[in-house]
Amino acid sequence: MKKILVLHTGGTIAMSENKNGGVTPTSRNPLDEAPDFFHGQIDLQTEDVFNLPSPHIGPKEMLKIQQRILRASDQGFAGVVVTHGTDTLEETAYFLDLTVPDELPVVVTGAMRSANEIGSDGLHNLQTAIQTAASDEAKGKGALVVMNDEIHTARFVTKTHTTNVATFQTPSFGPIGLVTKKKVIFFEKLLSHSYHPIDQVVDHVYLIKAYAGMDPELLQLIDQPQTNGVVIEALGAGNLPPQVLPALKSLLDQQIPVILVSRCFNGIAQEVYAYQGGGIQLGKLGVTFCHGLNGQKARIKLLVGLSYGLKGAALKTYLNDAIS
């Protein structure tokens, strides 16, 4: 009988709708009353790590989850499921993807409807996440996100809708697997996976979104001695308005890593345009292009790399590679 560890962290999946229609945490996690989905065929152990809405979860809380998962790998568990609020679920899942070895399946799930709403999806998502974590085929695929009967990689999945139960999608190529009533089916896999074990997280790593007519003030405001890194969601294929270039250069001159991704829903940032503020000029200034990740995940990757101690060329190589 396989042992699966279920770690509850809060979120809509652990909330209920009150008499005024507001969705809030309750004194008792409704998942504690979940039925035995598997009729004794899987040995489930459940723990409450904390009970927080996901906007309250940051890197320190992610590290706490990671440390519990690392201990689980030495306690005979065949897999781990993490229940989580959906607002920052993709960031926690990617943090775990980067910092946990892939021999132990790690599956993150949540819900878009609270426990007592009509059509609540929490229990079903929990069931399919446990199925996936208990699957032999889930090994070696990095952290996974299972929602709405679909299996996605933590690296590329993103929340695409504010309320729809099918909100979690992988824009580039779709899910890598499906969960049916009786079977977990994988039909894609990642080309490679590497991780960087950390026991601390750095702070003051920022994310900024570029926009038409962007002024330099935001970059100037974060030009501080404590700043450890900056991720910019750039325009198009990786371009910025020319008026921000002096402030950008000031950050780079102080050896503060500046990472560029595209704010576009699909595609990657790359050095294509040679005009002022274009990707070619930004690359020559020392900006690092992070391929294949959205802004929030590029920030997590930068944060993990810095926490691991990567610097200079090693950090740039780590951030350039979208598949590790």
Half-sphere exposure of 200 (CA within 13 A, CB side): 6
**One-letter-per-residue 3-state SS of 64-125:** HHHHHHHHHCCCCCCEEEEECCCCCHHHHHHHHHHHCCCCCCEEEECCCCCCCCCCCCHHHH
The C-alpha torsion from 303 through 308 and 314 to 320, rounded to 10°, is -40
Q: Which one is catalytic: 9, 12, 158, 288?
A: 12
DSSP state of 156: T
DSSP 246-293: HHHHHHHHTT--EEEEESSSSS---S---STTSHHHHHHHTPEE-TT-
Q: Is 12 a catalytic residue?
A: yes
Residues carrying an active site annotation: 12
